[in-house]
Amino acid sequence: MPGHVHEENFKALLVSSIRQRMEEEGLPSSHACNRVVAEWLGYPFSSTPEAFADGADDRGIDFWYAYDEGFNIFQVKTRELLPGGKLNLSPSTAQV
């Protein structure tokens, strides 16, 4: 099935990008994923690292982008990388 190939390629590229960000910036996988997602969505965060909340008291906000007319606010649900580099796609405890 052709869609399956594209899905696997997307996942491999996502994992590779997350791992690269983890190694380059010393981030845990969830923080690296937030930055990769923001970058892939086209948000220019290189000059505004304060736009990433990434903390226990973030009130559910992972990152935001402010512009003249207002804000875009994001919450990203991430999964830890498994040993061997695959994404953990098992149901989260919140879904069980």
In the chain, DSSP assigns E strands to 63-67, 70-74
pLDDT class of 33 with cuts at 50, 70, 90: confident
Report pTM.
Answer: 0.68
Model pLDDT for residues 56-89, shown as the tens digit of each residue = 666 677 777 777 888 888 877 776 777 776 777 6
Interacting residues of 45 by C-beta distance below 8 A, sequence separation 6+: 35, 38, 39, 51, 52, 63, 65
